[in-house]
Amino acid sequence: MAVRSAVNPGSTDYARFEERFRGAVARDEGMVGVGAVWRVRREAILDVLRFLRDESGLRFRMLTDLTAVDCAPVRDGDRFDVVYILHSLERGDRVAVKCAIPEEDCRCDSAHALFANANWLEREAWDMYGIEFRGHPNLKRMLNHKDFVGHPLRKDYDIYRGQWLSESDDLLDELERRRELDPRPVPADRETMVLNLGPSHPAAHGVLRNLVELDGETILHAIPEIGYLHRGFEKSAEVHDWNQIVPYTDRLNYCSAILNNIAYARAVEALCGITATDRTMFIRVILGELSRIMDHLVCNGANLVDLGALTNFWYLFNLREKIYDVIESVTGARLTNSYTRIGSLWADVPPEFSDSVRNVLREIPKAVGDSEKLVVRNRIFIDRTVGVGKISTEEALSFGFTGPCLRATGYEFDLRKAYPYDHYDAFDFEVPTGHQGDTYDRVMVRFEEIRQSVRIVEQALKMMPEGPIKADHPALTIPDKKQTYGNIEGLVNHFKIIMHGVQVPKGEAYVASEAANGELGFYIVSDGGQTPYKCRCRAACFHIYSAFPRLVEGGMIADAVATLGSLNIIAGELER
Amino acid sequence: MSSPYAPLIVALFLAALIPVAFVILGSRLGPRRPSAEKTTPYESGILPSRLPGDRMPVKFYLVAVLFLLFDVEAVFLFPWAVARHRLGDAGQIGMAIFFAILVLGLAYEWRKGAMEWD
Amino acid sequence: MGLISRPERPELRTGVQKTRRLPAGASDEAAAVRDAGFVTRFDALLNWARKNSIWPLPYGTACCAIEFMGAVDSVFDLSRFGAEVVRFSPRQSDLLLVAGTITYKQAPILRRIYDQMPEPKWVFAMGVCASSGGFYDNYCTLQGIDKVIPVDFYIGGCPPRPEAVLKALLELQKRIESAPAAR
């Protein structure tokens, strides 16, 4: 399955980089899915990142992920490794940079000036591991609450130790700091109003909180606070078997659960060095695209409801029910499917699968067409969404945008085309892009992506081969019942997998798939055991939401509501 | 009950009676369990950090006043539209003058930018 | 995965002032009346009105909120039972329908929203995360909302099917009509 890395690891650009930073940089052992891994000395990290970002041959413009690993149980030296995963979209290449941090002097320089999304990523690393980032403008708790003591992802933090919170953070200190940074201060005679668009709000899509400072209807400053749905995915993954983590991945972006299952299964399969069978890949594509369609239906339906267009909600949700019927007949569940396993699927599709999918595919263009017709030339919709929440491609890349939000800015980047997996290169489909990255573009890109997904599913149904769904790897996939009862090897393999779980070899991998919101990546570190050593989810909407203040400041509250709906922020994925 | 105003009087009477009845019924029939928490202002589950000040931006007032003006104009237009035939020329001319004054006002405030929010 | 009725009133543990929530219709006389099994005509009228116009506050945090949206859509149609009007303000709603995981960070918010609702009010814990923490037994997840607010019905499932939500609503309606109206 090898995830493609376009560039030869020994290429001249890398050699030039290593030469430039000789003494501070050393090549490290490989990470699956990434072109090269370097270990960098702490003092040189900002220079290294700047060089990688700006140097003409390298151009690693996007910080895909920034996380840390607690190495206390496995090595005696520096306790933490801060891991930066960078992505060069033009070259089609990813690299990783690691920086060792000792526990006694737990500090690293902040990269927030180089990459806009490093701000939030570093806050999360501080919250989870306790690594202080020097120069960070606002190093506060991100996912845990303000009264939390300790750093939960450290290996010595007991997973069951919960801590109560009595009163929410009022965020006024952040507002003060934000005001100080504002180049245009508010005139002294203006009285501004400070309001919570809080966690219990119809247009806040679940649990997103924003403290906004208003001048009339205009938002001067917006302070987002997240963490109200932080459910400890990473820590839970560290105490569960490889296959037991699949239900946890369902609940990341719960509107399109199968896409998360697929992304996780691919990452672990890459680490194991196995490839799923062709039939499995095609089934994953079909169900994955149906999930993508469902996610876009929810996003657009909810967004239009926020704008006041309730009819679309009914149309699109009825369509969702029809797709649910198909998915339920295959996976047994409507919403949270847990369908993939490492190396295979939970079960093969039922015999009437093709017909039921074709029936649903006939319904989709009609319902989506009806809904789109109501809005695409609707004066009110256009006035409320065109030019609202605009962002340029440059800024979007700096924030780490991927998926429909990036494509709405006009930049055509889709992991299914750039790094094809699961036979996506065999399908004929287009990647829709927008013009100026505003709310209108985001909504329309999603409508169009639904149509393209329908095309993919039609082609996949025609091409789907017969054959087994389990990869032929006795240590990873449970043998068929015939084998289990038929011969001793089957019995032993079955026993070992059920009793000891799947054995994933030592190593690490970063593998990303195109989920409904963009690049959903899993950075997995395995120590050869039954459970992952670290299972980090690179959530697409975390990066997108970090740009939210930039998108809404200067606009009105109603614009903020429209923008928030169009970004498709799913709290399960945002806060894991 | 042949007076043309009879339906109006009945409507006014009902309009006065029904809300009063709802308020009285609600206060009599609903359980009464006040508590300090219950009377805190609602701000999406968080206690408001700052109560709103006394002053509001004047833009809100402007929008409200403009709405009021044109709403009252509409209130006058409706009966005139219904009774146009019976009012004859005098009615036409009178309404035309009234309308023209208001259109002039609309043109003025449009040009002045009072319809723009910022 | 069925419905379990409300347990003993739990200890309320956040720093916020405790609310003494009494069961619907509880005062000494009302309790006596109920024990005597006697509901007056007027009570029946009030109960009929209340049970057919339960306005939910969908306190949706996670995946269960999507299934709640499924319960409201035209296939499952919650509005047949009068519960269509969802109101996100606690002052205007009767039923706090907690759909999704509640974390320790969210708990004070939930408690305050519950406190701000006027009587009579009911609470559903939709889904296993709201009922008992679900499979998130860890440092950040509240192991059941009954640690901070009293719950009338627990709806099991991860997420529960929309039919389960409808069933819970019907059971609530039965409970409302069988007790003297809270006044």
Per-residue pLDDT at A409: 94
CA C71 distance to own-chain centroid:
16
Q: What percent of chain A has pLDDT over 90?
A: 59
Q: Please tell me whether the interface predicted TM-score (ipTM) of this complex is above 0.85.
A: yes
Q: Round to whole Å and give the CA distance between B46 and B48.
A: 6
List of residues 6+ apart from C157 with CB closer than 8 A:
C1, C127, C128, C164
Q: Which amino acid does the sequence have at C104?
A: Y
Q: CB atoms < 10 A from the CB of B107, how many?
A: 10
The CATH number that applies at residue C106 is 3.40.50.12280
- Looking at this protein, which amino acid is placed at residue A175? L
What pLDDT is attached to residue C77? 87
DSSP string across A122-190: HHHHHHHH--EEET-TT---SSS-TT--S-TTSTTS-TT-----SS----HHHHHHHHHH-SSPPPTTP
**Rounded to 5 degrees, what angle do the CA atoms A305, B57, A189 make?**
135
Which residue from C169, C172, C174 is spatially nearest to C71, judged by alpha carbons? Answer: C169
C115·B46 Cβ contact <8 A: no
Residue of higher predicted confidence among A24 and A2? A24
Q: Which fold has domain A12-134?
A: Beta Polymerase; domain 2 (3.30.460)
Contact criterion met (CB below 8 Å) for A293 and A323: yes
pLDDT at A151: 93
Phi, psi of A302 (to 5 degrees): -65, -40
- Read off the pLDDT of residues C112-131 as tens digits, 9 standing for 90 and up: 999 999 888 999 999 999 99
Q: Which residues of C have a CB under 8 Å from any CB of B?
A: 16-17, 19, 22, 46, 89-91, 108-110, 112-113, 115-120, 181-183
Residue C21 has pLDDT above 60, yes or no: no
A100 and chain B: CB distance < 8 Å anywhere? no
Residue B53 lies in a domain: yes
Q: Write the CB contacts of A434 (distance below 8 Å, at least 6 apart in sequence).
A: A407, A408, A409, A410, A440, A441, A442, A444, A445
Contact A145/C at CB under 8 A: yes
> What is the distance between the alpha carbons of residues C118 and A271, in angstroms, rounded to a whole number?
55
Strand duo A193-197 + A209-215: pairing: antiparallel
- The pLDDT score that the predictor gives to residue C32 is 53
> How does pLDDT run across A279-290, given as a tens digit for each residue?
999 999 999 999
The chain B residue lying nearest C17, using CA atoms, is: B37
The residue range of the domain holding B11 is 6-112
Tokens 């895909």 sit on residue = A64
User: Which residues of chain C have a CB within 8 Å of the CB of A572?
Assistant: 62-63
Number of A–B residue contacts, CB under 8 Å:
47
Specify the range with the lowest mean pLDDT, choosing from A100-104, A379-383, B44-48, C171-175. Answer: B44-48
C interface with A, Cβ–Cβ below 8 Å:
13-16, 59-63, 65-67, 69-70, 73-75, 88, 100-101, 103-110, 113, 135-143, 158-159, 161
Residue C142 lies in a domain: yes
Selected residue with higher pLDDT from A401 and A75: A401
Tokens of C68: 């709640």
pLDDT tens by residue, A299-358: 999 999 888 888 888 888 888 999 999 999 999 999 999 999 998 899 899 999 999 999
Q: Scanning every residue of chain C, which has its alpha carbon at the shortest distance from the alpha carbon of B30?
A: C183
CB contact under 8 A, B57 and A216: yes
Nearest to A336 among C63, C69, C139 (CB): C63
Q: A84, A82, A56: which is closest to A71 by C-alpha?
A: A82
Q: What is the mean pLDDT of chain A?
A: 89
Residue C4: per-residue pLDDT: 44
Say how far apart CA A458 and CA A452 lie, in whole Å: 10
pLDDT in the model for residue A8 = 54
User: By C-alpha distance, which of A488, B14, A228 is closest to C108?
Assistant: A228
Residue identified by tokens 């996610």 is A295
For residues A573 and A542, the answer to whether their CB atoms sit within 8 Å is yes
What's the pLDDT band for A564 if we cut at 50, 70, 90?
very high
Instruction: Name the residue facing B38 among C108, C116, C120 (closest C-beta).
Output: C116
Summarize the confidence of residues A249-270 as an average pLDDT. 93
> What is the CA angle A11-A16-A18, rounded to 5?
95
Q: How many domains does chain B have?
A: 1
Mutation pick from A147, A154, A159, A164 vs chain C, by most beta carbons of C within 10 Å, is: A164
Checking if the pLDDT of C7 tops 80, the result is no
Q: How confident is the model at residue A203 (pLDDT cuts 50, 70, 90)?
A: low
Asked whether the beta carbons of A293 and A258 are under 8 A apart, the reply is no
Q: Give the pLDDT score at A2.
A: 35
Domain assignment of residue C119, yes or no: yes
Q: Which residue has the higher pLDDT, A110 or C24?
A: A110
At C38, the pLDDT band (50, 70, 90 cuts) reads low
What pLDDT does residue C6 have?
Answer: 40
Residue A184 clears pLDDT 60, i.e. is over it: yes
The residue with tokens 């069961």 is: C23
Query: Looking at the DSSP assignment, which residues form a beta bridge with residue A26?
Result: A39
pLDDT at B43: 80
B117 inside domain: no
Q: Do residues C55 and C93 make contact, with C-beta atoms less than 8 angstroms apart?
A: yes
Instruction: Give the neighbours of chain C: at least 3 Cβ pairs within 8 Å.
Output: A, B
The radius of gyration of chain A from alpha carbons, rounded to an integer in Å, stands at 24
Query: Is-above-0.95 flag for pTM?
Result: no
Is the pLDDT confidence value at A483 over 90?
no
pLDDT value at C18 more than 50: no
Please report which confidence band the pLDDT of residue A185 belongs to, taking 50, 70 and 90 as the band edges. confident
The Cα A511–Cα A79 span in angstroms is 25
CA dihedral angle for residue A479, residue A480, residue A486, residue A490, rounded to 10 degrees: 0
For residue A447, the model assigns a pLDDT of: 93
**Domain housing C89:** 39-178
Residues A25-47: pLDDT tens digits? 888 888 888 888 999 999 989 99
Mean residue pLDDT of chain C comes to: 80
Query: How many whole angstroms from its chain centre is CA A445?
Result: 19
The verdict on A193 touching B (C-beta cutoff 8 Å) is: yes
Which residues in C lie closer than 8 A to residue A336 (C-beta atoms)? Answer: 63, 158-159
For tokens 């039921």, the residue is A356
- 8 Å CB contact of C62 and A255: no
CA C151 from centre of chain = 6
Q: Is the pLDDT of residue A461 over 50?
A: yes
Q: What is the pLDDT of residue A314?
A: 86
Measured between CA atoms, the residue of chain A closest to residue C99 is A206
Total domains in the fold of chain C: 1
Q: Give the model's pLDDT for residue A195.
A: 87
Instruction: Report CA torsion sign: B49, B51, B56, B61.
Output: positive
Topology at the third CATH level for domain A233-575: Cytochrome-c3 Hydrogenase; chain B (1.10.645)
CATH code, B97: 1.20.58.1610
A535 in C contact zone (CB under 8 Å): no
User: Taking the CA atoms of chain C, what radius of gyration do you get in angstroms?
Assistant: 16
Of the pLDDT bands very low, low, confident and very high (cuts 50, 70, 90), residue C8 is very low
Per-residue pLDDT averaged across B36-64, rounded? Answer: 80
**Per-residue pLDDT, C34:** 53
The predicted pLDDT at position C1 comes to 34
Pairing of strands A25-27, A36-40: antiparallel
The span from the CA of A123 to the CA of A131, in Å, is 9
